[in-house]
Amino acid sequence: MSDAFRWHGGRLAVAQERYGSVEPWIDLSTGINPVPWPGSSRIAVDWASLPDPSALAELEAVAAAHFGLPPAHVCAVPGSEIGLRMVGQLIDRPACYLTPGYRTHGEAFAKARPVGDPAEAPSGSVLMMASPNNPDGRVFAREQLLALAERMQWLVIDEAFADCMPGGSIAPDIGEGRQLVVLRSFGKFFGLAGARLGFVLGPTPIVAACRRMLGDWPVSAAAIAFGTAAYRDRGWINATIESLREQAAGLDALLARHGLVARGDCPLFRLVERDDAAQLFEHLARRAILTRPFHAQPRWLRFGLPADAAAMERLDKALADG
């Protein structure tokens, strides 16, 4: 197995080159909604002009309403990973980061060290963590996060998957008197990762500093247009939250039929653990189904949601053939 698959999801071109296949590939290696928001195909993007500042302000206002806080605490960025690296530079203190978690979390802060439990982070330090967490799908209660925010010098929460589970977001608790920063992603829930749109949410000094670092045109015209319209589409958002729960329950049942116990509460992916995880990855890849293995946890394999009934059927058959 190539290390490329253990480093990050979405290496479909590498998989196609390595394993071939006459069947279309099913990419279950990411935690991205496989059924994207459909409105992007109906929006005409003005590629000839620079994005207008008023359009960017409108995007941030609409996104702020979705997140549950005032627009002054929201800064649009070209992807939440870039936002995280910016925050790491702005805070620029030794930090702890929750593990297992995103590789970027350990890279964003100088002299960062891993902790297996938030309680292990020393009081008065900087703590970086995700909720829902990736890859294990842990969700931390809002009350627990608020208690951590009081104990930490800075608490930085990656809520890339929070749109699937909106009741647990800590974003509405951001304010001037709390050393709390939240990262949000547009692409995962809305299924439009190529738009490269995310948000830094925090006290106004952090937001203002992010804006200075990014300059006048931080995100593309397409990201502005898609994001503004998508965050306004409450009907699609509410229906998708419910449908993702149903799809995740269906995936849980499918995996259980084959002796695979699904872990995690985030509906966009499930984690399984078994001794032959590497062999299972290879078995599925030879049937044009890409999953997500992990270098540091060789017994783990993460499954994203299949896009439709046909993809679920192919996964079911491939697991049965194993």
Considering the domain architecture, whether residues 180 and 281 belong to the same structural domain is answered as no
Considering the domain architecture, whether residues 30 and 46 belong to the same structural domain is answered as no
Count Cβ atoms below 10 Å from residue 29 Cβ, excluding itself. Answer: 25
What distance separates the 2 farthest-apart alpha carbons in the chain? 58
Which CATH number fits the domain that encloses residue 178?
A: 3.40.640.10
Considering the domain architecture, whether residues 31 and 74 belong to the same structural domain is answered as no
Considering the domain architecture, whether residues 303 and 179 belong to the same structural domain is answered as no
Q: Which of 201, 232, 263 is the last residue of a domain?
A: 232
Residue appearing with tokens 């500093």:
209
State which residues form the domain around 32.
Answer: 3-36+235-321
Considering the domain architecture, whether residues 226 and 254 belong to the same structural domain is answered as no
Considering the domain architecture, whether residues 191 and 170 belong to the same structural domain is answered as yes
Which pLDDT score, from 0 to 100, does residue 1 have?
Answer: 53
**pLDDT per position in the chain (322 positions), as tens?**
555 555 556 677 777 778 887 789 999 999 999 999 999 999 999 999 999 999 999 999 999 999 999 999 999 999 999 999 999 999 988 899 999 988 889 889 888 999 999 999 999 999 999 999 999 999 999 999 999 999 999 999 999 999 999 888 999 999 998 999 999 999 999 999 999 999 999 999 999 999 999 999 999 999 999 999 999 999 999 999 999 999 999 999 999 999 999 999 999 999 999 999 999 999 999 999 999 999 889 999 999 999 999 999 999 999 998 6
In this prediction the pTM is 0.94
Considering the domain architecture, whether residues 71 and 199 belong to the same structural domain is answered as yes
Q: Which of 207, 232, 257 is the last residue of a domain?
A: 232
Which pLDDT score, from 0 to 100, does residue 166 have?
Answer: 86
Which CATH number fits the domain that encloses residue 311?
A: 3.90.1150.10
Considering the domain architecture, whether residues 246 and 295 belong to the same structural domain is answered as yes
The radius of gyration computed from the CA coordinates of the chain, to the nearest angstrom, equals 20
Which pLDDT score, from 0 to 100, does residue 231 have?
Answer: 98
Which pLDDT score, from 0 to 100, does residue 2 have?
Answer: 54
Question: What is the b/e burial string over 80-89, where b = at least 16 CB atoms within 10 angstroms of the residue's CB?
Answer: bbbbbbbbbe
Q: Which of 166, 200, 232 is the last residue of a domain?
A: 232
Considering the domain architecture, whether residues 49 and 185 belong to the same structural domain is answered as yes
Q: Rounded distance, CA 301 to CA 273, Å?
A: 6
Count Cβ atoms below 10 Å from residue 112 Cβ, excluding itself. Answer: 18
- Asked whether 135 and 100 are in contact (CB, 8 A), the reply is yes
Considering the domain architecture, whether residues 55 and 201 belong to the same structural domain is answered as yes
Which pLDDT score, from 0 to 100, does residue 10 have?
Answer: 60
DSSP H stretches of helix in the chain: 3-7, 12-19, 53-67, 80-91, 103-108, 142-151, 187-190, 204-214, 221-232, 234-257, 277-285, 309-321
By C-alpha distance, which of 49, 303, 38, 305 is closest to 190? 38
Number of structural domains found in the chain = 2
CA 91 to chain centre: 22
Which DSSP helix (H) or strand (E) runs through 21?
Answer: none
User: Per DSSP, what are the bridge partners of residue 292?
Assistant: 302
Considering the domain architecture, whether residues 20 and 97 belong to the same structural domain is answered as no
Alpha-carbon distances of 219 from 55, 57, 75, 112, 187, rounded to whole Å: 11, 12, 10, 29, 13
Considering the domain architecture, whether residues 128 and 10 belong to the same structural domain is answered as no
Q: Rounded distance, CA 154 to CA 112, Å?
A: 13
